[in-house]
Chain A
Amino acid sequence: MMATVAARELADGEVVFVGIGLPNLACNLARVTHAPNLVLIYESGAVGAVPERLPVSIGDPALVTGSLMVCGMADVFQLILQNGRIDVGFLGGAQVDRYGNINTTVIGPYERPRVRLPGSGGAAEIAIHARRTVVVSKLSPRAFPEQVDFVTSPGHRSGGVRRAELGMPGAGPVRVITDKAILAADAVAGELILAALYPGVTAAEVKASVGWPLESGRDVGCVDPPTARDLELLRCVLDPKKLYLRG
């Protein structure tokens, strides 16, 4: 369900910077359904990738075979990302807070972490430079605290200062796709609010899974369930080994 909903965030012809995990699946689903002209760019250097198998990692050899261009990572980050060529960046996160700041670095204090997470990878610069970002994360009070333990990838506000004032070119995390609802950033305050509910999920349930008093948008919509074709593509074609679909 999350993969399908995330895939719908992508319009045909857009240039998308694909991250590891579920975003990988969502982008490839979008490419074989409504967005055949989606340009997939991976930080590993594959530009216009058309993977014949679901890439296990973002450095999979299947990303190279048949792609439009393969470049070094200095080119990916400077000539493509910093140059402003990315329409959408897809990010995941262990923690996402009220203003869409993402933590993939540590749970607990940096010097003595309770849990050491992998770190930024390319996420910090994607969050800063992509014209907009879409975040994918499962809903729970631990994953959605009022404030993250460490800001790896900046959202809409940092210490009360808005991202534009800090000089960030991109619009930041406009949508957060969870397993129960879609949250969206309020255009003025930059705060995440409830935008749409999955079938059978109540607003109260979502609010109980978030560590701040979650506001509802003006028109809370209902998310369409995946089509039979989406499910068949996901289960039989894109991820038959359930690399991303378990859990």
Chain B
Amino acid sequence: MSDVSKLMSMRDAVARFVHDGDTVVIEGFTHLICFAAGHEIIRQGRTNLTLARLTPDLIYDQMIAAGCARKLVFSWAGNPGVGSLHAFRRAVEGRDGPRLELEEYSHFGMVARFAAGAARLPFWPLRNYMGTDLPRANPYIRTVTCPYTGEPLATVPALHPDVTIVHAQRADAAGNTQIWGLVGVQKEAAFASRRVIVVVEELVDESVIRSDPNRTLIPGMIVDAVVLEPWGAHPSYAQGYYDRDNDFYVAWERISRDPGELRRYLDEFVHGVPDRAAYLEKHPGLETRLQAKQRRSSGVNYGF
């Protein structure tokens, strides 16, 4: 039995492990995006952050609007299925004070950056980017000649976040973390990172983890903090727990388009609440609207 509990509140985890000027990754591809952590970083007034993620999504739009970000490292900056991220666009199109610095890749490029970081290699080769203008827009996309075939290959540099925050369905107190459904690039991002915060829907006993070890995506040995925060991914989703709040993603189009409206949103739902529990009190009826249906897997025999 492991007796090292890394359990702490979101407030303490952010205070201890997220610092001004850090490269921060809150990963999750549509699924398991930890809004609770993003909101706490805004509340604690972190600034000068380099925010990295494949899809900045609403959470980085909110953090950009709140003044947390100096730079964005990304590959697709939109509101999926809806339209634009307007705080991001204002910061890039320059209508709104200082411009946000950008470092832009494609999804494959970002995935490869995390893979290199996770493997502690300086770069990752990929057959990509020929004929595109992306290397012109981003000088970190370079090429190398394959020493075996002579083929030119694109390269991207390793990404080493100072801190990666992963939302998950469940973990034990030591941070052994299980995720199912879309797993995105969380494993690579966590292994690439200097510090890792895991935020979970459910805290479970180590025996639950051990009963299904193939489902563990992130081992406790690389985890610094475990935060229990049910519904902490809302308006993103957690497979088997709650559905994506698509209505909120649609509403974000209207909210984010108007800087005043966006400021009022942050005042009420981020600065105006002390923590996630208070945020949830402001969203009555989420369970009725979004609670996941039962679609259980049949399970397997791990015996020998």
Binding site for B on A (CB under 8 A): 20-21, 43-46, 56-61, 63-66, 70-74, 77-78, 81-82, 101, 105, 110, 112-125, 128-129, 150-155, 158, 161, 163, 166-169, 243
Q: A56-B244, A125-B126 are in contact. List 13 more A-B contacts (CB 8 A).
A: A44-B184, A45-B29, A56-B249, A58-B30, A61-B243, A61-B244, A63-B182, A72-B188, A77-B111, A101-B131, A112-B94, A114-B93, A152-B132
State whether A120 touches B93 (Cβ < 8 A): no
Query: Which listed residue, B107, B180, B183, touches A72 by the CB 8 Å rule?
Result: B183
Q: How far is the CB of A215 from chain B (nearest CB, A)?
A: 23
Which residues of B lie under 8 Å from residue A150 when comparing CB positions? 133, 137
A58–B30 Cα distance when bound, in Å, is: 8
State whether B92 touches A124 (Cβ < 8 A): no
For residue B88, CB closer than 8 A to chain A, the reply is yes
A82–B131 Cα distance when bound, in Å, is: 16
State whether B131 touches A151 (Cβ < 8 A): yes
Q: Which of B3-11, B72-80, B205-213, B261-269 contacts A (4 or more CB under 8 A)?
A: B72-80
State whether B77 touches A124 (Cβ < 8 A): no
A154–B131 Cα distance when bound, in Å, is: 5
For residue B303, CB closer than 8 A to chain A, the reply is no
Binary contact track B87-114/A, C-beta < 8 Å → 1, others 0: 0110011100000000011111001101
Closest to B128 in A: A125
A20–B83 Cα distance when bound, in Å, is: 11
Which residues of B lie under 8 Å from residue A161 when comparing CB positions? 131
Query: Which listed residue, A56, A112, A158, touches B80 by the CB 8 Å rule?
Result: A56
Q: How far is the CB of A18 from chain B (nearest CB, A)?
A: 13
Which residues of B lie under 8 Å from residue A128 when comparing CB positions? 127-131
State whether A124 touches B129 (Cβ < 8 A): yes
Residues 186-238 of B contacting A (Cβ, < 8 Å): 187-188, 237
Which residues of B lie under 8 Å from residue A119 when comparing CB positions? 74-77, 104, 106
Q: How far is the CB of A56 from chain B (nearest CB, A)?
A: 4
- Chain A interface main SS type: loop
State whether A116 touches B89 (Cβ < 8 A): yes
State whether A167 touches B137 (Cβ < 8 A): no
State whether A115 touches B93 (Cβ < 8 A): yes
State whether A59 touches B31 (Cβ < 8 A): yes
A188–B31 Cα distance when bound, in Å, is: 44
For residue B287, CB closer than 8 A to chain A, the reply is no
A110–B108 Cα distance when bound, in Å, is: 21
State whether B188 touches A74 (Cβ < 8 A): yes
For residue B258, CB closer than 8 A to chain A, the reply is no
Q: What are 25 contact pairs spanning A and B, CB under 8 A?
A: A20-B81, A44-B29, A44-B182, A58-B30, A59-B31, A61-B31, A64-B182, A66-B295, A70-B183, A72-B184, A78-B126, A82-B108, A82-B128, A118-B84, A120-B106, A120-B107, A123-B106, A124-B106, A125-B107, A128-B127, A128-B130, A151-B133, A152-B132, A154-B131, A155-B131
State whether A73 touches B80 (Cβ < 8 A): no
Q: How far is the CB of B32 from chain A (nearest CB, A)?
A: 10
A58–B182 Cα distance when bound, in Å, is: 11
State whether B137 touches A81 (Cβ < 8 A): no
Q: How far is the CB of B119 from chain A (nearest CB, A)?
A: 11
Which residues of B lie under 8 Å from residue A167 when comparing CB positions? 127, 130, 151-152
A115–B188 Cα distance when bound, in Å, is: 32
Q: From A61, A63, A163, A169, name the one whose CB has the most chain B CB atoms within 10 angstroms.
A: A61
State whether A243 touches B81 (Cβ < 8 A): yes
State whether A166 touches B134 (Cβ < 8 A): no
A79–B129 Cα distance when bound, in Å, is: 18
Closest to B295 in A: A65
Q: How far is the CB of A192 from chain B (nearest CB, A)?
A: 16
A125–B237 Cα distance when bound, in Å, is: 27
Residues 147-188 of B contacting A (Cβ, < 8 Å): 151-152, 180-185, 187-188
A154–B180 Cα distance when bound, in Å, is: 34
State whether A153 touches B183 (Cβ < 8 A): no
Query: Which listed residue, A20, A112, A168, touches B131 by the CB 8 Å rule?
Result: A168
Q: How far is the CB of A125 from chain B (nearest CB, A)?
A: 4
State whether A74 touches B115 (Cβ < 8 A): yes
A81–B30 Cα distance when bound, in Å, is: 20
Which residues of A lie under 8 Å from residue B180 when comparing CB positions? 70
State whether A82 touches B92 (Cβ < 8 A): no
Which residues of B lie under 8 Å from residue A105 when comparing CB positions? 104, 133, 137
Q: From A58, A74, A122, name the one whose CB has the most chain B CB atoms within 10 angstroms.
A: A74
A77–B124 Cα distance when bound, in Å, is: 13
State whether B81 touches A56 (Cβ < 8 A): yes
A60–B243 Cα distance when bound, in Å, is: 9
For residue B291, CB closer than 8 A to chain A, the reply is no
